[in-house]
Structure formats: C-alpha cells, structure tokens
Amino acid sequence: MSIFDTIKAFFAGGSRSGKLYIIDAAQLSGGGSERLGPREQVQVLQQLSRFVEKEKIGVQAVFEGRALREVAHGENYGGVQVFFADNTANLQNLLLDLLKKGLRSKQAVLVTGTRQVEERAISMGGLTLRPSTFRKAFENGGGGGGGGDRGAR
C-alpha cells in the first residue's frame, strides 16, 4: 500500500465517517511550529477551506496568536472552524481540549508534530496524524491550489 493509499483511506468516507480533524495549523506551512503571521494564517485557511470543501471533512484549525480581521476565535472560515491561543502552552491545551470535546460525539484526529501532545492525545483515545502526512494529502488533494489528477487518465 502506497503512502497516498494510506492517506486516502484515512480520509475515506468524508463527513459521513464522523471524523473531525483538529489541526495545529502553523505546522501545515512546512516551517515547523513557528508562529505564523496573519497573512500566512489566511493562506493556510484558504488552502484548508478548499480541501475541506473537496473532501467533505470536519476541520478545526488552531493558530498561535490573536484573532484575525477575517475570522474571530471560534468562528468559521470557509468551512473551517478557527481558534487562536496566545502562547504555545495555551495552544497545546486548546488542541487537547478540542480533542476531548470532539471525542464525545465522533472520531477525532489530532494533527500535530509535538510528541508530548501526541502522547496525551493517544492516551485520551484520539488518533494522531503527523503534519507532514496530512500535508501530503492536503497538497495533493487539491488544497494546495493545484488541481489534483486523482483518477484522471
């Protein structure tokens, strides 16, 4: 099974599967977990929004920093519910709190590269996914602006 088959299986079923993806969104930019500026946050949200629309999945994105003009804390941006935390410790706590709430009603998947947060998420019964793996689906699934050629021949 190729990495893309594995990723595709992870997203199989879309929103009907009841999966909720809680994402440490700064880690999707490829620059690690560094704090993103407002412009970069909006770019990530635009890409996520296209991906959510195409894949029909539930996504909550968490950023470190203040709310944006384009979207306030807890509001939706193109189908993505967006949250903000003022520092790294609060960001990690918010990710785990959202996971705990998500696990009450559906299968929740936490997308993070922070080992300590991953371990806590697994101990809570959540699934985890590395940002690099999610980013491969995200970029190749049409979220990165290019139209994927899935199934085209």
pTM here? 0.80
Angstrom distances, CA of residue 57 to CA of 12, 63, 148:
10, 19, 17
For residue range 79-120, list pLDDT tens digits in order: 999 999 999 999 999 999 999 999 988 789 999 999 999 999
Across-strand partners of 23? 61, 111
Rg value, the chain, Cα: 15
Strands 76-77 and 58-64: unpaired
Q: What is the pLDDT of residues 56-67, one digit of tens each?
A: 899 999 999 999
Beta bridge partners of 128: 110
**From CA 145, how far away is CA 9, in angstroms rounded?**
22
